[in-house]
Structure 1
């Protein structure tokens, strides 16, 4: 009862708030921005929001709605990150020449705007007890659990193949590894909640244990990313108390990633300039 609830809240505070809060602070104010740090910053803000929604438990309707909405946003953000990284490695020339300067900011803003709009519709339909509520929510979560998940799976496979193929030529940057792990953990722990919610509206026969499994999995997913960044970015030969800022810079400002993504375009440019 009370002791389990206290342990649960302690885990939320330590792993959810502190981990994501520290990443938000460093990426927002102390680390140089690039297209991927912008998306990762938004992802950390959203993961922080997941724990904020759970701060008073999931017994109230509004907390449940906020929790489900923030969880969905994390899926959209990871989908955007994985698609952009795939484009940068599969079509490097096109990516370098045609990518909009502020594409990451635009995409993240659209994700938040659309998600807030959907949340408003979601809450309105619940409050008015509209007959269209089940249909709208079922469609939204089917998109989350089927379309977005399929895109993430495809991008994960492509990035994994790229990493494996590059091992014979040069060492990949740390961001590839961190992103692959984040995507893998999301497929394991993040996707089940969307699937369970979809099945609930389709079958209306989801027991409390299954629902609890989905919630716990989503909480694990929202707390694991800061640890992935730390484990991938740290140097085992360094002193154990290496500043987290240095660790994150090593992951998100990794030179190997930049060289790999720009090597082909740079070579092509030099060939075009040669008479």
Structure 2
């Protein structure tokens, strides 16, 4: 992957400052929200099959928010001194973001798929689902994301173009597979809620899942495409790189920041009295009794 200077002609200094300030603000809010989700789900809320996934999704979102925050802070410091980025810095941090991005998409696909299975085959889900399936799947997805990211960090350097292209093709295939699974399971869940003679009731958990998927498709997916286009960054016009990078990073930050807001909004919707955040979060993620682990 080839680096690029983010303070080139693509965006004016004012545009860069404004976009970077927005990124820093949104990332700080999102990190605080995801820390709250990690705290409540880790120590205060009773576990079920889906809170395990959401707990890991919040961890991935926290990491995904931290890297652009670091990059934006470095930009602010260097800009105040009149300095420029080292050429390798954007490429290094962007490659590091593969890890939480892969993990986050993997967790979201697992959430949608498992809830879809519980609706389409409820008897199997109640009787034959392994007790700790969620934890095992999350561990495997984290491990796979880490391995793929390590390969990117190791081989996507100057002089390893042949291996880099193969690694990126492998990762792209994996992410396309996850995206297809996410879309199919979400569509099947939506159709089961809206259509058919045996429609399932629209619970808060379904609303949470569908809103999270929708926000990812609008804000998180464009950033994934952007990351893989950087493999061919030599064909890009560097004149537009800085603006594109900042806009894509802003969208990704909105996606990761929105998830905790969705949880607390869905959990508190139509509740006239103020309630503890623990109960609000548990209400948004509460599944059927058979989901309890």
Q: Which residue of 2 aligns with 1:30?
A: 44
**Counterpart for residue 116 of structure 1:** 146
2 CA distance for matches of 1:11 and 1:218? 10
1:243 aligns with 2:258: no
SS at match of 1:115: helix
Paired residues for 1:1-275 under 5 Å: 1=14, 4=18, 5-14=20-29, 16-57=30-71, 60=89, 61-127=91-157, 129-131=159-161, 132-144=163-175, 146-165=176-195, 171-201=201-231, 205-206=235-236, 207-208=240-241, 209-239=243-273, 241-254=274-287, 257-258=288-289
Count of residue pairs the alignment pairs up: 256
Assess, with a 3 A threshold, how the Cα gap between structure 1 residues 177 and 56 changes in structure 2: closer, same or farther: same
Are the counterparts in 1 of residues 23 and 250 from structure 2 also a CA contact under 8 Å? no
Q: 2:229 & 2:31 partners in 1: Cα distance?
A: 30
CA distance in 1, matches of 2:200, 2:148: 44
For 2:17 and 2:152, the matched residues in 1 are separated by 34
In the alignment, is the contact (CA less than 8 A) between 1:149 and 1:187 conserved in 2? no
Q: Deviations over 1:119-149 (max 9, x none)?
A: 11111113574231122113312431x2211
1:62 Cα deviation (Å)? 3.2
Partners of 2:213 and 2:34 in 1: CA distance: 17
**What displacement does 1:247 show?**
0.5
**Structure 2: 5+ residue runs without aligned partners?**
1-13, 73-84
Question: CA RMSD, aligned part only?
Answer: 2.6
Higher relative contact order (CA 8 A, sep 6+): 2
Moved more, 22-31 or 159-168: 159-168
The answer for unaligned runs of 5 or more in structure 1 is: 263-275
Verify the 8 A CA contact 1:142 1:198 in the aligned structure 2: no
Residues 10-44 of structure 1 show CA distances to partners (whole Å, capped at 9, x for unaligned) of 22112x11111101100000000111000000000
2:152 touches 2:164 (CA, 8 Å); kept in 1? Answer: yes
Is the contact made by 2:26 and 2:257 (CA closer than 8 Å) also made in structure 1?
no
**TM-score, length-scaled by structure 2:** 0.78
**Retained in 1: the 8 A contact 2:207–2:266?**
yes
Q: 1:246/1:110 Cα in 2 relative to 1: closer, same or farther (>3 Å)?
A: same
Q: Is the 2:53–2:107 Cα contact (8 Å) retained in structure 1?
A: yes
Secondary structure of the residue aligned to 2:71 is coil
Aligned equivalents of 2:234, 2:200: Cα separation in 1? 51
